Amino acid sequence: MKLKRRNMNVANGIFGPLDKKRYSDQIADLMQQKILKDHLEIGTLLPTEKELAEEFQVSRSVIRESLRILEISGLVNTKKGPTGGIFVTDGYDKPIKNSLGNMMILGEVTLDHLFDVRLLVEPYIASEAASHAGDIHLKKLRELISQSDENQHDVTLLKRNNLRFHLLLGKASGNPILATLQGSFLKLLIEISLDFLDLDLERHFFRAHKEIFAVVENKQAREADQLMRQDILDVKEKLKGFKKKNLRANS
């Protein structure tokens, strides 16, 4: 998601005084309350580390720890560079993704488990998107399809857009719980498959997404469910084949 820069003024002391809790935890709590109670828009630019340290009268290391807590919870995103800063974000799926990632490292979650959940959730998401997607969601999906159509030789862009297609469908379903759950396991799969780059396959997946979008746009819920199920099974087979190939190559 492209973040818009919106300033949040701290000149008048927007946060309350600190109590005896650990400062970093309390500051994180206060900032979370501010973000949620004031319904700060996604992309709102928060005060700098220096400004926050002055506001709370603590060291910048305490502020950095508070921001780390907020980043883990998916409420803020810190970007470096000239256009960087501390931004409000909507990464509510991040804590779930992190937990699933830890379970995968421990061997408690496998690729099969992730795809089993995808098969339970995403065909329903596709059918709900066909029933509920509004003009804004359809416009974003249409623009994504168009961009991929015009960049059929860019494997990185195709891969990124193919994954983003699923996330946009989640939002188009109209159910934020489903979208958050979907985002958690999809973003984990993105990390797992970062080295899985194959132009022919990404073109193949794109064509499947084009078909899914067509039935979603035409409000054909049953067809959207069926096509999404086929797409997930196809991706599962291709990804597992890629992993086996890599294992043989590295053995």
Q: Where are the domains of the chain?
A: 6-88, 94-250
Identify the pLDDT of residue 83. Answer: 83
Distance CA 138, CA 170 (A): 12
The per-residue pLDDT for range 154-200, each reduced to its tens digit, is 999 999 999 999 999 999 999 999 999 999 999 898 888 877 888 99
Q: Strands across the sheet with 6-7, in order?
A: 6-7, 44-45, 85-88, 76-79
Show the CA angle centred on residue 170, arms to residues 178 and 75, nearest 5°: 70
Helix (H) or strand (E) holding 240: helix 221-250
| pLDDT at residue 17 tops 80 | no
What's the whole-number average pLDDT of the chain?
88
Question: Which segment of 81-85, 112-116, 126-130 scores lowest on mean pLDDT?
Answer: 81-85
Identify the pLDDT of residue 18. Answer: 57
DSSP category for residue 17: -
CA dihedral 201, 199, 214, 222 (to 10 degrees): 20
Identify the pLDDT of residue 1. Answer: 37
The per-residue pLDDT for range 77-107, each reduced to its tens digit, is 888 888 889 999 888 888 999 999 999 999 9
- Residue range 5-26: average pLDDT? 64
Burial class (CB in 10 A: 0-12, 13-18, 19+), 251: exposed
% of the chain exceeding 70 in pLDDT: 88
Per DSSP (E only), the strands in the chain are: 6-7, 44-45, 76-79, 85-88
Between 241 and 66, name the one with better pLDDT. Answer: 66
Domain at 94-250, CATH homologous superfamily = GntR ligand-binding domain-like (1.20.120.530)
Q: Count, in order, helices (H) and strands (E) of the chain.
A: 10, 4
CATH class of 6-88: mainly alpha
Q: Take residue 26 and report the two structure tokens written for it.
A: 């309390």
